[in-house]
Structure 1
């Protein structure tokens, strides 16, 4: 059976591993990012709506958000919306990515309003910039952060060294960059050329391609299309 290297956090990686079984892959899990709460407090404010682009934002905000649960919550991604429901929120607008939710928000709020954004420390600025550019106020609170792992897992290093990894799945540009650095520090950079690399988007693929690796990209930036790209390579 083929082996896939899954570079997500442990919880997400387990779900991905189950999906890979249907493609006849066993998974080698090696999280390159470790997520945790920053401890940042949500400042009291006269907010009109709440934004979350990750379920981690909902989880890590803690009890500071209790006064705002009656407000509309707008979520990037079905997983974020599901996590919000489990925490007692009632999601309103839900879209698959920041670029998709922005025009929906601008249509919903033609006049300036104040958004509370439960955010990660490392994030793309498009959503906030688009809202502020339309005259809205955005209070972004970095309630969680992704810390780089110090090494690949023992299983991943052994499998790469033995040439036993057939495909590696890459979900973010930052995680791809960290993966390359960790592989190099373990002396495994030469082995990466034997692996089929599949990236969530062209942006994610960029550092891999810069390292001279051949990369296939998903046709849309979600896991379903990422796995379709893996299946297409079989």
Structure 2
């Protein structure tokens, strides 16, 4: 069985290696390229906590000079994958159960009214923490340190494999990678061919752009890579 992996690097190669170790074949074609924003400036003022809502934000924060002034604060992450990518030697870590709603609840239940949270994120975000936490009296300052640029086209070998029916399944980790794959499939004229693939998704939000063009989707019980592997084996 050959599985298409469209998540950004370096995570795409890590997922591919895990697929190969499990006895599958992997076709890697990232639909997003992550670009660090070195010119980003830390917002002024004090912070009572730091929130991380993506693996890329967690990974890139570890490379920035601002980390030295933040590492003693409590960190809140959306899930275990993001926590694993976070900088080492943080003073305190709180981990939500894997989605934005759970992170909002964790922040609201842990921090007092009047707290100020630094949200380390990308230009495109699945959740606006400031809006979600305002009713709880918690202020959020946004620190955008990367952007994710959509791919312009599928690789020629991916197009050929889909046309020939050599892709059996695809892993989908985010709405943006899923939507970008749909647009690239339209441009390559392979939307109907891609409907023969089993599209395995983190969540209903991830599946939405795929279902809009009639592709069959299955949703993981938990929004984790393990959940996608469970679908693959099932």
Specify the alignment match of 1:25 in structure 2. 24
Q: What is the Cα deviation at residue 56 of structure 1?
A: 2.0
Specify the alignment match of 1:93 in structure 2. 94
Q: What is the Cα deviation at residue 77 of structure 1?
A: 2.1
Specify the alignment match of 1:45 in structure 2. 45
Runs of 4+ that moved beyond 6 A: none
Specify the alignment match of 2:3 in structure 1. 4
**Mapping of residues 76-225 of structure 1, within 5 Å:** 76-86=78-88, 88-95=89-96, 96-125=98-127, 127-225=129-227
Determine the C-alpha separation between the residues in 2 that align with 1:81 and 1:217: 23
Q: What is the Cα deviation at residue 132 of structure 1?
A: 1.7
Q: Size of the alignment, in residue pairs? A: 230
Q: TM-score, normalising length from structure 2?
A: 0.91
Q: What is the Cα deviation at residue 100 of structure 1?
A: 1.6
Determine the C-alpha separation between the residues in 2 that align with 1:143 and 1:6: 25
Q: What is the Cα deviation at residue 72 of structure 1?
A: 1.2
Contact residue 12 and residue 28 of structure 2 kept, 8 A: yes
Q: Which runs of 5+ in 1 are unaligned?
A: none
Determine the C-alpha separation between the residues in 2 that align with 1:108 and 1:68: 18
Determine the C-alpha separation between the residues in 1 that align with 2:84 and 2:207: 28
- Residues 107-129 of structure 1 show CA distances to partners (whole Å, capped at 9, x for unaligned) of 21132201111111111225332
Determine the C-alpha separation between the residues in 2 that align with 1:10 and 1:84: 17
Cα RMSD, aligned residues only? 1.8
Q: TM-score, normalising length from structure 1?
A: 0.91
Determine the C-alpha separation between the residues in 1 that align with 2:59 and 2:221: 30
